[in-house]
Amino acid sequence: MYKTIQLFSFLNLLKFIFNPIKGIKVLYKILSDYPRIQALPNFEESKKIHTIKYYKNLIKKNKNLNNFFFSKVYETKNMYFSIQELKNNKENIIDSLKNNGFVVIENVLSDQEAKSIDNIFKEMQDNTADHNIIDAVKVKYGHKDVVDDIECITCKKNISDFPELNNLSDFFSKMVFGKKIKTIAEFFLHKSLNKKEKQKDDSDTFYHLDRYLPCLKIIYSPDSIDENSGPFCFLKGSHKLDNSLINDWLIKDNIHKIKDEEKIKFDLKEQKIICKKNSLIVAFTNGFHKRNVFNLENKLRKTVFFQYTNNFNKFSLYNYLYYNN
């Protein structure tokens, strides 16, 4: 709302007159922005309750979202599956994702596609790529951002460069939202600079929710992720939108992350997601998740992220009939 009010400033009006196409794009982005948990803390309690209830009712109208985010949680022990099971026996995978909020698919890519992913990471590491645009997607090679005790290099690529990952993204996004959702491949190269990374207040090493409404993230890991390379952790079942303890926390708390000792109050089991090389982690990051700290110096972690809130946005929630067909 604050952003919408800001739009009508005199300066923005001038900008709009001089560049109307950009103005329309910015306006669309603000109006279609998928509801954020960060926006809730500014609201008074009654408005938070109303807003959460309003969007939850809207989510229920999308039959796929209703199935994944509102159905009762059953104990599903298996969370690790092979790519063959995805082809032949996907019901178990759907069940595990529905109940736990994440699954890991092992041995996902052919040698050829795994190698092309590896080449991108090599270029990022050596800073050898000399082009800025690939398939109309801007690439931020060599853009270095030192956060905490971690160095992070990122770059974005067109997902169609990686047909197998593209198919997997289509498969999971259709299953969760009802239609295939377009996205891009975001490459992250994390490197630990100190012996043990310190946990800082503003880092993603605390349990947090990305959004309070359905949020799918798919992460490809070319290497194995062990205890020392900052594995992801998830509170099983925390993606369900009718969890009253999480709802109370959303309404009463003014922060969107919790300290480790606070997780006990949600009465959910914690799962550390250690995985083999060439694995895909599919997770609902509106559930409580975090990245563990790196335990060793000079430890590298390569990941490719696929996110969907840009193309499955607030308007998509209102357009549920299209996603139900």
User: Is the separation of the CB atoms in 216 and 251 below 8 Å?
Assistant: no
Rounded distance, CA 90 to CA 169, Å? 15
Q: Which residues contact 50 (CB under 8 A, 6 or more apart)?
A: none
Closest CA to 315 of 208, 183, 177, 218: 177
Residue nearest to Fe ion (CB): 210
Residue closer to Fe ion, measured from CB, 86 or 233:
233
Alpha helices, H only, the chain: 2-6, 10-18, 20-32, 45-60, 63-70, 83-88, 90-100, 111-126, 163-177, 244-252, 314-318, 320-324
Shortest Å, Cβ 19 to Fe ion: 33
- How many residues in the shown chain lie near Fe ion by CB under 5 A? 1
Site string for Fe ion, 201-230 (x = CB under 5 A): ---------x--------------------
Site string for Fe ion, 156-195 (x = CB under 5 A): ----------------------------------------
102 near Fe ion, judged by CB under 5 A:
no
Residue closer to Fe ion, measured from CB, 149 or 210:
210
Question: Which residues, listed in sequence order, are joined to residue 185 by a DSSP beta bridge?
Answer: 157
Shortest Å, Cβ 208 to Fe ion: 6
Closest CA to 189 of 128, 232, 125, 131: 125
Residue closer to Fe ion, measured from CB, 141 or 206:
206
123 near Fe ion, judged by CB under 5 A:
no
Shortest Å, Cβ 33 to Fe ion: 17
Residue closer to Fe ion, measured from CB, 113 or 210:
210
Rounded distance, CA 143 to CA 159, Å? 20
Shortest Å, Cβ 284 to Fe ion: 11
Give residues in contact with Fe ion (CB under 5 A). Answer: 210
